[in-house]
Amino acid sequence: MKSRASKAVKSKLPPTRRRREPRIRAILEAAEQVFLENGYEAGSLDAVAARANASKATIYAHFGNKVGLFKAIVASKIVQVATPLREADEKHVSVPDALTVFGQSFLSLLLSPGPLKIYRLMVAQGEQFPELAQMWFENGPKVAIATLAAFLKEHSASGDLDIDNPEQAAEFFLMMMRGRLHIRAVAGLSKPPYDKDVKACVAAAVKMFMRAYGSKIK
């Protein structure tokens, strides 16, 4: 059923023409597809090899075993999907506007396919791969909280907000935005696009947040 035309490929691409580490990139891409789509248990190395147009022996030569390949691919994907979080610039007029912009980009990221699949993997396999779970938490949730907390602390010092515990307030805001949206998405109960829901959730969360923490002195 799953025939691979490896003979034809081999004749068309002589060894010298191939770049160094020729199959590694293909294997990594294939593994990302397979594991993120099917999970760790259901993702087979046969499927990875077929998708990468490589042999299983090559996979073992480079990654040792299934665990090694899984760790490599998930670790790289974690960093990859988390990078947008580190590019948070705030040059906005009012605090609510800044919260809205930040919130929308954060929530959109959270609901996009990559992070959603990583979340599923971490929830399902976190106990089996503690280092990955740790890495995911440090690069994802923790960064989001810290980034927002810094912003809140700043604007609390300047009198725009009235916040005792910026970290906690940041957590509250991020959690409130999620509401039912994220939980339903990860369980497969809702499908994209989420644009409209994202805007509504962020707006509601901003309103509630300002009601609680908006400076009364003005």
Partner DNA sequence: GTCTATAAATGGATAGAC
Partner DNA sequence: GTCTATCCATTTATAGAC
Q: Which residues bind a second copy (CB under 8 A)?
A: 39, 41-42, 119-120, 122-124, 126-127, 130, 133-134, 136-137, 141, 145, 165, 168-169, 171-172, 175-176, 178-180, 183-184, 186-189, 204-205, 208, 211-213
Q: x/- binding map, residues 53-92, to DNA, per CB under 7 A?
A: xxxxxx-xxx--xxx-------------------------
Instruction: Yes or no: say if 194 and 181 are a contact pair by the CB < 8 Å rule.
Output: yes
Sign of the torsion angle spanned by Cα atoms 52, 57, 62, 67: positive
* Residue nearer to a second copy on the CB measure, 21 or 162: 162
Written as six digits, the tokens of 112 are 């996009």
| Residue 43 CB contacts under 8 Å (≥ 6 apart), including other chains | 31, 34, 35, 37, 70
* Residue nearer to a second copy on the CB measure, 150 or 208: 208
Residue with tokens 């949730």: 141
* Residue nearer to a second copy on the CB measure, 27 or 169: 169
Min separation Cβ 145 and a second copy, Å: 8
Min separation Cβ 55 and DNA, Å: 3
16-55 binders of DNA (CB under 7 A): 18, 21-24, 42-47, 53-55
| Residue 100 CB contacts under 8 Å (≥ 6 apart), including other chains | 202, 203, 206
> Looking only at Cα atoms, what is the longest distance across the chain?
77
Q: Is 128 in the site for DNA (CB under 7 A)?
A: no
The listed partner (a second copy, DNA, none) that binds 14, CB under 5 to 8 Å by sort, is none
| Residue 6 CB contacts under 8 Å (≥ 6 apart), including other chains | 53
Instruction: Yes or no: say if 6 and 56 are a contact pair by the CB < 8 Å rule.
Output: no
The residues that touch DNA, with contacts defined as CB under 7 A, are 4, 6-7, 10, 18, 21-24, 42-47, 53-58, 60-62, 65-67
